[in-house]
Structure 1
Amino acid sequence: MAMRELIILSWIAFTATAQHGNQSGPRGFPLFSVTGTDEPIEYLDVSSSREGSGSGFGLEPVKDKKIPAVRKQYITPEASQFLTGSLMTAFIPTVYTLVFLLSLPLNGIAIVMFAIKIHPKKPAVIYMLNLAVSDLLFVLLLPFKISYHFNGNNWVYGSGMCRIVTSAFYCNMYCSVLLMMCISVDRFMAVVYPMASLAWRSQQNALAVCSAMWLLAIGGVMPILLSEQTVHLPDLGITTCHDVLEIEKFTGYYLYFFPIFCSIFFFIPLIFTSVCYIRIIQCLSSANVANRSKKTRAIIMAITVFIVFVVCFTPTNIILLTHYVQFAGGHNDSSYVAYLLSMCIGSVSCCLDPLLYYFGSSQCQKQVCNLLQCKSSPELSSTTQSETRSSKIESFPTSLGSQYKKLMA
């Protein structure tokens, strides 16, 4: 029996070496497979001793038995350590929990304000309403991710639900990026070309652009929705969702899909967003406006929005490309862990978006003040109204007065 096992193990090791010597892997931890053979092989059957066999030990080759195919899936020890470590099972779900608790009410209130309180629905309002919806849908998926990571990266909701959650997760994240790009372009046109852009900045065009962004994001994640995302790891006793992918199945496909995906859905929007906010900041800085505080506030807001966009999304996509560049010659599990960590930190943008795009505007502050009944007396109300009128009169002669309002709307 020992000789039989030795021959089988030697054959399996040879087959695994031949099949996996120089293969690269997909986005995520690579899943390797060792497959034996079901062809009959000669081995010595020590249990069958026949008289007159001509063998000095009474043993003879037996060819009428088959060794069944042996297929064992495994991941590297480094990947196993990451999947069971505190970073993925404690830190990441904790951050997602905080993002969920903060972002859910913020985006919910923003949607109500955009949909009910603000009239008319200008293009900027339409873009920000869609951004709030995208962020809210993203946040509503976080409980699945939280449960998955707190449960030791063990997915218990089924294969179909894994595909739906994973594809919706990426869809809403990158749809938010596209909508932020649209907001930057809209603000650029309103500030730099206020008169020439009036024909383009219409409600119908804004609705058409938002619909196109949603369709583009949904179409981009269809390959994820249609492919298997769950893998059972018997050695760890868990079923992963999207974190471990079979190396034979996804090597050639995801190796090209994700770099193209993040290029279309992030790096191109990054170029547009960077150009727009740089031009906005330049235009505001060079303008000669009487109300210096409003000018400074608009510049600071533009810089803050741009920095948040870059910090929240750039590391994630750069690490994703680096992950694939490394896989071109081998695999590196630590780069995928860095990707998961950066994506987790980037989800904080769901909390910051409503603060920057809506709750930071003067219009929202006035509405919140009215809701909280901050007007203590008629005299205070009349004083506030007179101050508002006087500030409007002061800023009316300047050509950039309305541009600041559009930027801060």
Structure 2
Amino acid sequence: MEKQMDKTNLTCVTISQSPISDFLMGIYILAFILGLAFNLLTLGPIVQQVRSQNVLGVFLLNLSLSDILYILTMPLWINYYHQDHHWSLGSLSCSVAGFFYYSNMYLSIYLLCCISVDRCLAVTYPLRTKAFRSIRYAWVLCLVVCVAVMSAHGLVLFKDNLQDAHDDTQDRCYETYPMPKPVALFNLLRVGIGFLLPLLVLGLCYWRILGQVKQSEGLGEQVKRKVRLLSFGVMGIFSVCFAPYHLLLLTRSLAYYYMGRERYCEFEEIMHFPFSCTLALSSLNSVVDPVLYVLISNGVREDMRLCCCGNRKSQRERDSSVIAVTWKTHTNMK
């Protein structure tokens, strides 16, 4: 995403051979193996939930497909770090890999928000929101999120020269320093709209959910424990996978605006390794997503057991998630 970088810019940060590349490569290999295995393992049961007109299943399916598309680009990043930050596959592949990387990150963030808001409405306003919380509503919401996120990143990709999307002189992919002013501004928007706003929505949703569940006398302790697990699990994904990356991204962008050239380059030199680690850490959300949302979902767990056993009941009720159980309990109490 860099435009017309002069030769002095290329020496702002020196990236040399080091064990750091092997460490980053190890994170991506782990994320690739576990992420692909978990997402493929749970894809069938999730599709079964969608066929059962399960609203949560629609969100999970879109989340899983987004993760799989990103995971398929991971071998490119593994090769990049294996060659000590040298991209030998051309600028087009660098741009495509970057597009799927960042699109997946914000698709995951906003789909997690959709799931959280849907669960919050199901728990706090079960009767009022039952009419429009339909399978069609879930598909439309997912479509809006996908179009918005991919259009934003596609516009950035289209506006940029693909040849400048990575540093052809040193064969880097999205690692040219210093960052151009438009990129610094775009980064600030990503932090605000792509992370802080969803984080605020998540915090409010799970605050309401936990408060409602705590007040309910009709729920067993096991159900309450699973609801708390879901709430803290989602916030944990944000804290571990997304927060460090966006915190350093914000710091780097502000440093660009408020530091002089020499101090800024020194700062970027120091931040390069931590920032690369947080970027790699964000890839682990593709591993955690299916574990969190599928393994605590009664309906999907049961579908997985039935698939493994090779038989299926013709008629049975499916609880889409633990919080869906909460919604049904509240409905019956009215």
Tell me the TM-score normalized by structure 2. 0.85
Distance 1:254 1:403 in 2: 49
- Aligned pair 1:221/2:195, yes or no? no
Contact 1:287–1:400 (8 Å) recurs in 2 = no
Contact 1:289–1:295 (8 Å) recurs in 2 = no
The residue aligned with 1:402 is 328
Instruction: Identify the structure with bigger relative contact order (alpha carbons < 8 Å, sequence gap 6+).
Output: 2
Distance 1:90 1:293 in 2: 43
The residue aligned with 2:274 is 338
- Structure 2: runs of 5+ lacking an equivalent: 320-324
One of 166, 176, 191 as aligned partner of 2:108: 176
Q: Say which is worse superposed, 218-227 or 161-170, in terms of deviation.
A: 218-227
Contact 2:10–2:176 (8 Å) recurs in 1 = no
Q: Considering fraction of residues, name the structure with more strand.
A: 1
Mapping of residues 4-403 of structure 1, within 5 Å: 33-34=7-8, 74-76=10-12, 79-80=13-14, 82-87=15-20, 89-116=21-48, 118-226=50-158, 227=160, 228-233=164-169, 238-245=170-177, 247=178, 251-289=180-218, 291-328=220-257, 329-330=259-260, 331=264, 332-333=267-268, 334-373=270-309, 400=326, 402=328
Contact 1:301–1:356 (8 Å) recurs in 2 = yes
The letter for the 2-side match of 1:196 is R
The letter for the 1-side match of 2:213 is L
Distance 2:126 2:134 in 1: 13
C-alpha displacement of 1:374 = 9.8
- Structure 1: runs of 5+ lacking an equivalent: 1-25, 35-72, 376-380, 393-398
Contact 1:166–1:224 (8 Å) recurs in 2 = no
Identity percentage over the alignment? 23
**Bigger radius of gyration, 1 or 2?**
1
C-alpha displacement of 1:262 = 2.7
Q: Deviations over 1:336-387 (max 9, x none)?
A: 4322211211221211110111122122222232233399xxxxx9xxx9xx
Contact 2:24–2:280 (8 Å) recurs in 1 = yes
C-alpha displacement of 1:104 = 0.3
When the two chains are superposed, the root-mean-square deviation of aligned CA atoms in Å is 2.8
C-alpha displacement of 1:284 = 0.9
Contact 2:219–2:326 (8 Å) recurs in 1 = no
Q: Deviations over 1:40-78 (max 9, x none)?
A: xxxxxxxxxxxxxxxxxxxxxxxxxxxxxxxxx6313xx
The alignment of Structure 1 onto Structure 2 pairs a total of residues equal to 311
Q: Considering fraction of residues, name the structure with more helix.
A: 2
Tell me the TM-score normalized by structure 1. 0.70
Residues 164 and 290 (structure 1 numbering): CA distance in 2 closer, same or farther, change over 3 Å? closer
The letter for the 2-side match of 1:276 is C
Contact 2:126–2:327 (8 Å) recurs in 1 = no
Q: Deviations over 1:8-65 (max 9, x none)?
A: xxxxxxxxxxxxxxxxxx99xx96525xxxxxxxxxxxxxxxxxxxxxxxxxxxxxxx
Any idea what SS the aligned residue of 1:84 has? coil
